[in-house]
Amino acid sequence: MTTALNHYLEIIRTNLRIDLAEGKEVISELETHIEDRLQELKESGLSEEEAEKTCLRLLGSAKIIARQIYEAHSQGSWQQALLAALPHLLFSALFALNWWHHAGWLSFILVLLVGTSIYGWWHGKPTWVFPWLGYSLIPVAAFGLVLLYLPREWSLLTIPFYFLFALWWIFCLVVQTTKRDWLLSSLMLLPMPIVIGWFLTLVPGAKITAETLERMDYFAPWIAVSFLILALTIAAFIRLRQRWLRIGLLIISGLLTLTIVVYFVGGKLSTETFAGLILVMWGLFLVPPLMEWFFRKTKRILQRYALFTPPHR
């Protein structure tokens, strides 16, 4: 296949944003189709160059082709929608049924979250695994909370290292996810502002006390509702085809859920804190696409450098 056609396929591959295994199959089928069409044009009497130009003209825009393939293959099954919504449903049930009182249930759910995240990560990173990955950050956050109960001198020594590790872990997850599709990074981090909002409401001094447990009992039904909204959002996300509808759904659901949190806490969150959470929410939809743009631009620059740099003798 010619360089121009290989470049055409590379543009499609870069903009597909579907499961890796499915993407490879689609590209392979498309490559076979292009080769067959190119051969037909040559047999009709066209030269290699004329056949290539005609083939590219008949195929149309690579980005439009990629978008059409995305819409044809991005819709998940109801089973995948349930799998993607399951971590949110588990946390909803945890508070709706007051299971959060029991260390056994908490441990079981955390082990399930981490185990499912690892399994999905090493088995092709299907779309349904990214909501699970977001909750895999909870053990990291819980470890940081434990550090606050250490003696002061130990806290001052360990907390800076903890923050560096936590930021590194989040950065690695976001980078790896953004390389696949920035929208999946937003999907993964969607619960973060809601979890932070509830935490600031229930544990204002970052110390768990008897009053904290009373607050959790009082707000448990509304916490369950907020996670249920997230579950329904993720299920709808998996079933939608159009990318712009998915983006709109995540933005509206995130802002709606965060507004519900602020409404039911009855003024326990200050205006500044609410504004900060809104900025965090918008960051979920601005930082990942900027990172994706940066990665693609860097990749193009490196490719051009490799193309125009003469080989060493």
Highest-confidence segment of 26-35, 130-139, 220-229, 286-295 = 220-229
Token pair of 165 as six digits: 């590790």
Mean pLDDT of 76-102: 92
Q: Tell me how far apart the alpha carbons of residues 135 and 140 are, in angstroms, rounded to a whole number.
A: 10
pLDDT value at position 313?
A: 46
**pTM to 2 decimal places:** 0.81
Q: Where are the alpha helices (DSSP H) in 240-270?
A: 243-264
Q: Is the pLDDT reported for residue 136 higher than 50? A: yes
Measured from the Cβ of residue 47, the count of other Cβ atoms closer than 10 Å reads 10
230-235 long-range CB contacts below 8 Å, 24 or more apart?
230/88, 230/190, 230/191, 230/194, 230/257, 231/85, 231/86, 231/88, 231/89, 231/92, 232/85, 233/190, 234/81, 234/84, 234/85, 234/88, 234/131, 234/187, 234/190, 235/81, 235/82, 235/84, 235/85
Least confident of 131-140, 149-158, 240-249: 149-158
pLDDT given at position 307: 52
Give the confidence band of 233 by pLDDT, cuts at 50, 70, 90.
Answer: very high
CA 15/CA 174 separation, integer angstroms = 18
Q: What is the C-alpha separation between 135 and 262, in angstroms, rounded?
A: 22
234 has pLDDT over 70: yes
Q: CA 228 to CA 222: how far, in whole Å?
A: 10
| Residue 105 to residues 66, 191, 194, Cα–Cα distance (Å) | 44, 20, 22
Helix pair angle (3-16, 20-43), 10° resolution: 150
- Structure-token pair, residue 259: 């507004």
Rounded to whole angstroms, how far apart are CA atoms 289 and 295? 10
Most confident of 126-135, 147-156, 167-176: 126-135
d(CA 200, CA 273): 9
Instruction: Locate 310 and state its tokens.
Output: 């003469």
Find the Cα–Cα–Cα–Cα dihedral 83, 85, 87, 88, rounded to 10°. -170
Written as one letter, the residue type at 87 is P
